[in-house]
Chain A
C-alpha cells in the first residue's frame, strides 16, 4: 500500500494533514484515521460468543490476547457475504481497548488535508449509522466516508453489557 498514488495536494490543502486507512465495504469506500489502527490481519478462526448483539462476530486470539470481533457489514445493516481472500480484520483501539473490525478489503493509506473533509450529507447510504460518520471526502473520482468508530460505541451498544 503506497501513498504515492495520492500525492499530497499542497496547492489545495489548508489545515493539517491527516492519514487515513481506507477500506471497502459493499462497493463503498471508507476511511479511518491511521493512528487508531493497530494492525491489519487476515481472518483467523473466530469463536462465537453467545448472547451478544448480532454484529459481534465473536472473539479471536491475537497473540495471546482475546479481542472481540465486530462485523462492519452486519453493524451497518449490509448484506452479509462470504469471507474471501480479500477479507481483513482491522484491529483498532476503540474506547480504550482493542477491537477487530471485519471489512471486505483494505486498500491503502491516503493523506488528505483536514480541510477536504466535508460534513456528511443528510441522507447517506441506507442503514449506516449516521452518528459514526465524521465526514465525507470528495476527491476527483472517489468518494470516501470518514468514520469515527469511537462514536459507534458511544451510546446504545456500550450499554448492552453494562452492569
Chain B
C-alpha cells in the first residue's frame, strides 16, 4: 500500500525524528536492564515511545499506533511499579521496538507492508494483566488496566488492506544484509516458536540505517562559520583581482607586487585550509552512530551464548567521516561477535580460571593525529596460538614448515585467512571462517591497519587504525627516477635513507634487515616500469609501509615531501590498475598517481 501522505515534509520530519528516537531507545532499554530503578531513564523511554505513538497516530499509521500503544501501556505499568524488569520482560519490549523499527522502515521505503503484528502484541498483553510476567498465558482480554482500546487479541486487520494476514516472506523492499542475518533471534522460548511469520530479527534493518543517510543535519553554528569563511574567501578574491589589475596597468612596482602577492598567498592558504576543515567537519559523524547498536547486539548474543558480558563504551563522541562510518559497522560487528564467541568464556569457566563471573568487553574510540583508533578488548581467554596454528595446518591453509617458522604476530594473522575457523562446526554465530576475512577486507579498503594484542588466559585486543576521511589524505610524495608518486601517509610507518649495499638477496627477492625485522623490498621503478634516468646511486630511500597486518619497504630515489592531497578517481577505464589507488593534482597542475600500498603488498606476495 503506497503511502498517501499529503505533506511530504511532515512525513520526512516524522521519519527523521522517529529514527533518532528509536536509535536512542535501544540504548536506553539495554541500560534500563542494568539499572532498573532509574526513574529518569524510564521516563525518557516512556516519552520516546509516546512521541512515536502520537506522531504516527497523527499521520495515520495504524499498525504503528497499535504496537506503540501497547508498548506504552506496558511501560506505564513498569513506571508505576506494577512490573519489574526481568530479562524476559526486556526480550518482549525489545521485540516490540524491533517491530516498530520494521514498520518505520516500511514507511521510509515508501510502501506500507502488511505485517503480522499480533504475535508481538499478544506477548505484550500478558504483561498488562496482573499475572506475573513470563508465565505462558493464553492470550486473553486483559483486565482493568487503563486501556482505551478494546484489547481482544488477534484483532482483525484493517479492512482496507489486502486480506493476506500472514505474509510468510519478508517483503522485498528490505534487502537482508547477509552478515547480520546470522544474528539469531532472541530466546523467546516457545513464544517465538509459535509464530509462523519470521519476526524481525534484531540486527536486521538496523544495518542499513546508516547507509541511507541522504540528508544531513548540520549544526547552525557550523553553517555560520562556513559562511564567514566563504565571506573571507570572497574578500581575498577581490584583493587578488585588484593586485592583478594594478599589475596589468603597470601601476604596481615589482617590489610592491611581490610583497602584496606573498601576503595574499598566505591569507588565501589560511582561509582555504580553514574552509576545508569546516567542510570536513560537516561530513563528520560521531562514531556513536555505529556504537549505539552494539549494546543490543551484545545483550542478545550474551543471552544466546549463556555468557555474562558487560559492554563498556568509551569515546563514542569521537568524530569521523561519513564514508568511514558507513564502512566500519560490519567489521566491528564481526570483531564483537568474535570476542563474544571465542574470546569470553562461560561464567563457570571464568570462575574456574579465577576470574569474575561476568566478562568485560571494552569498545573505545580515540583520535590520534590524522587517524582514529578503535579498539575492541575483552578479558577472555586470549588467542591460543598453538590451537590456531594446528587448525590452520589441518585446514591446509599453511604447511607445517611455514607454521614452524612463524612469529607470534604471524600466528595471530592466521585468523584473518579466509576459511579459517577454530570451530569444527559452523554455528549460527560463527565458524564459517568468513567474519575475520570481512574485517580484513573492509579495513584494507579503508586504508586502515589492524593490530592484535593477545595474552593467553588474559584476553585479547583488536586495534583498528583508520583514516579520518577518504576524500583528502595526507600523503608522502616520492620521486621514482623522475616520476612523482604519492603514498598515503596513513600507511607509511617510517622512511629511511639506506645504502643499497645493505640489501640482501633471498631467492630473487631483495630484503632489508631493519632492526629486528626482515623487510621485503619492492622497487617501485621496476614494478612501474620507470625508465632509469639517473646513474645508479648507492644511496636510496626506503619507505616502510604497513597495511593491515603486513609490512614492506618501497624503494624510491628521493623523498619530495609531505602534502595534503585530494583524491581524484582515475575513472572506470583505468580503474583496477594493480598498485595504483587513484590520482591527485599537484600544486603545479600535474597529475600524480597515488600508490595503493595494499595492492602492492598483496601483489608482492605473488611475485
**Residues of chain A whose beta carbon lies under 8 Å from any beta carbon of chain B:** 44-45, 47-52, 56, 58-61, 64-68, 95-99, 153, 158, 161-163
* Residue contact B591 to A59, C-beta cutoff 8 Å: yes
B585–A64 touching, CB < 8 Å? yes
A12 CA / B570 CA spacing, docked (Å): 45
> Residues of A contacting B527 with CB < 8 Å?
50-51
> Judging by beta carbons under 8 Å apart, are B571 and A97 in contact?
yes
CA distance A60 to B590 in the complex (A): 7
Our pick among B483, B528, B568, B577 for the contact of A66 (Cβ within 8 Å) is: B568
**Could you tell me if B568 and A49 are in contact, using CB atoms closer than 8 angstroms?**
no
Q: Contact at A66–B569, with CB atoms within 8 Å?
A: yes
Q: A61-B585, A66-B591 are in contact. Are A49 and B573 (CB under 8 A)?
A: no
Cβ contact within 8 Å between A47 and B590: yes
Query: Is there an interface contact between A49 and B585, defined as CB atoms closer than 8 Å?
Result: no
Interface residues of B in 566-607 (CB under 8 A from A): 568-580, 583, 585, 589-593
Do the beta carbons of B590 and A51 come within 8 Å of each other? Answer: no
**A49-B580, A51-B529, A51-B578 are known contacts. Are A66 and B570 too (CB-CB below 8 A)?**
yes
List 12 A-B residue pairs with CB atoms under 8 Å apart, sorted by A's residue number.
A47-B483, A47-B590, A47-B591, A47-B592, A51-B529, A51-B577, A51-B580, A61-B591, A66-B570, A66-B583, A158-B573, A161-B574
Contact among B568, B576, B583 with A163 in the assembled complex (CB-CB below 8 Å): B576
- The answer, yes or no, to whether B530 is at the interface (CB within 8 Å) is yes
User: B527's closest neighbor in chain A, by CB?
Assistant: A50
- CB-CB under 8 A from B571, the residues of chain A are 66-68, 97-99
Chain B nearest Cβ from A66, distance in angstroms: 4
User: Closest Cβ of chain B: how far from A22's Cβ, in Å?
Assistant: 25
Assess the A56–B574 pair: CB atoms within 8 A: yes
Chain A residues, Cβ within 8 Å of B572:
96-97
Contact between B579 and A95 (Cβ–Cβ < 8 Å)?
Answer: no
Q: Please pick, from B528, B573, B583, B590, the residue contacting A97 in the complex, using a CB distance under 8 A.
A: B573
Q: Given A64, A67, A97, A161, which contacts B577 in the complex, CB threshold below 8 Å?
A: A161
Measured CA separation A162–B576 after assembly (Å): 7
- Report the minimum CB–CB distance from A148 to chain B (whole Å): 17
Out of A44, A61, A65, A153, which one reaches B573, CB within 8 Å? A153
Known contacts A56-B574, A68-B573, A161-B575, A51 near B568 by CB under 8 Å: no
Bound state CA distance, A113 and B449, in angstroms? 61
Q: How far is the CB of A151 from chain B (nearest CB, A)?
A: 15
Partner of A50, one of B528, B569, B583, B590: B528
Chain A residue nearest to B566 (CB atoms) is A64
Q: Nearest Cβ in chain B — how far from A71, in angstroms?
A: 14
Distance between Cα atoms of A98 and B573 in the complex (Å): 10
Chain B residue at minimum C-beta to C-beta distance from A157? B573
Q: How far is the CA of A112 from the CA of B577 in the complex (A)?
A: 41
Chain A contacts of B575 at CB under 8 A? 161
- Verify B573–A48 contact, CB threshold 8 A: no
Q: Which residue of A lies closest to B528 (CB)?
A: A50
Provide the bound-state CA to CA distance between A39 and B304, in Å. 64
Given the complex of chains A and B, what is the CA–CA distance between A68 and B483 in angstroms? Answer: 17
**Nearest CB on B from A56, distance (A):** 7
CB distance from A43 to the nearest CB of B (A): 13
A60 partner residues in chain B, CB cutoff 8 A: 591
Question: Are B529 and A50 in contact, CB atoms less than 8 angstroms apart?
Answer: yes
In the complex, what distance in Å separates the CA atom of A45 from the CA atom of B583?
15
Q: Which of B78-94 contact A (CB under 8 A)?
A: none
Chain B residues within an 8 Å CB radius of A68 = 570-571, 573-574
Q: How far is the CB of B351 from chain A (nearest CB, A)?
A: 51
Task: Give the CA-CA distance A88 to B157 in the complex, in Å.
Answer: 71
Q: Which residues of B contact A161 (CB under 8 A)?
A: 573-577
Within 8 Å CB of A47, what residues of B?
A: 483, 583, 590-593
Q: Are A50 and B530 in touch, CB under 8 angstroms?
A: yes
The listed residue with most B CB atoms (<10 A of its CB), out of A158, A161, A162, is A161
Question: Taking the nearest CB of chain B, how far is it from the CB of A4, in angstroms?
Answer: 36
List chain A residues, Cβ under 8 A from B589.
44-45, 61
A162 contacts across to B, CB distance below 8 A: 576
Closest 10 CB pairs of A and B: A50-B528, A47-B591, A161-B576, A66-B568, A66-B583, A97-B571, A61-B585, A61-B591, A59-B591, A68-B574
Contact across chains for A59 and B577 when beta carbons are under 8 A apart: no
* A residues less than 8 Å from B570 (CB atoms): 49, 59, 66, 68
Contacting pair A49 B577 (CB below 8 A): yes
